[in-house]
Amino acid sequence: MSQKTLVILAHPNLAGSQINAAWRTRLEEASGPVTIRDLYQLYPDWNIDVAAEQALLESHERIFLQFPVYWYSSPPLLKKWLDDVLTYGWAYGPGGDRLAHKEIGLVVSTGSPEAAYQTDGRLGHTLDELLRPFEQTVRLVGAHYLPVFALQGANHVIPADQLSRSANDYLGHVRAPCEVA
């Protein structure tokens, strides 16, 4: 039995994206139970339908947050979505167990190449270190944190064969059995 998978996509300019657009296209082309929620398309006014988002989260076993890393974090609408949707008493705190035991992972692209995201690299931190607040959020809500899937170097043209491989690997990652980090 396959798990129902939800992808929360947050890219403010998906039409101008080489990586996130390719990943989305690959998901849309594949058969199987993957629900894609494009936050910037759904909520151009930033008025998030919290009840609808919570219902979708409750009805899926695996959840992926897909976004380009912006200033070492997420795009602002995803941050607002997290703030609005993961409420006290629903996601955490007394009675807040709706996401407990679900699997939640990150799918990210970065502008800088992988070499920049090393302790001895230009940024002085690994990508996992910079994404730690997301990991902690997943742990706070009682979910299982999945390994990060990333493609780095979006500030440069990514060769078509590499982009295609990454999109196929992304689909495999989304469909893979749980590999809790």
Does 132 fall in a domain? yes
Does 180 fall in a domain? no
pLDDT for position 49: 98
pLDDT for position 156: 85
Report the half-sphere exposure of 102 (CA within 13 A, side-chain side).
23
Does 124 fall in a domain? yes
- CB burial class (10 A; 0-12, 13-18, 19+) of residue 18? middle
For position 155, which CATH number holds? 3.40.50.360
Does 33 fall in a domain? yes
Contacts of 3 (CB under 8 A, 6+ apart): 33, 60, 61, 62, 103
pLDDT for position 169: 94
Dist CA 13 CA 178 (whole Å): 30
Q: For 7-64, what is each residue's pLDDT tens digit?
A: 999 999 999 999 999 999 999 998 777 999 999 999 999 999 999 999 999 999 999 9
- Per the model's pLDDT, the better-predicted residue between 92 and 152 turns out to be 92
Does 151 fall in a domain? yes
Q: Nearest 5 degrees, angle CA 92-CA 93-CA 95?
A: 90
For residue 133, the tally of other CB atoms under 10 A from its CB is 12
Q: For 161-174, what is each residue's pLDDT tens digit?
A: 999 999 999 999 99
Domain count, the chain: 1
Q: For 102-138, what is each residue's pLDDT tens digit?
A: 999 999 999 888 888 889 989 889 999 999 999 999 9
Does 148 fall in a domain? yes
- Please provide the DSSP assignment of 48-104 as one string: --HHHHHHHHHT-SEEEEEEE-BTTB--HHHHHHHHHHS-BTTTBSTT--TTTT-EE
Domain containing 167 equals 5-175
Does 181 fall in a domain? no
Decide if pLDDT at 154 tops 90: no
pLDDT for position 1: 42
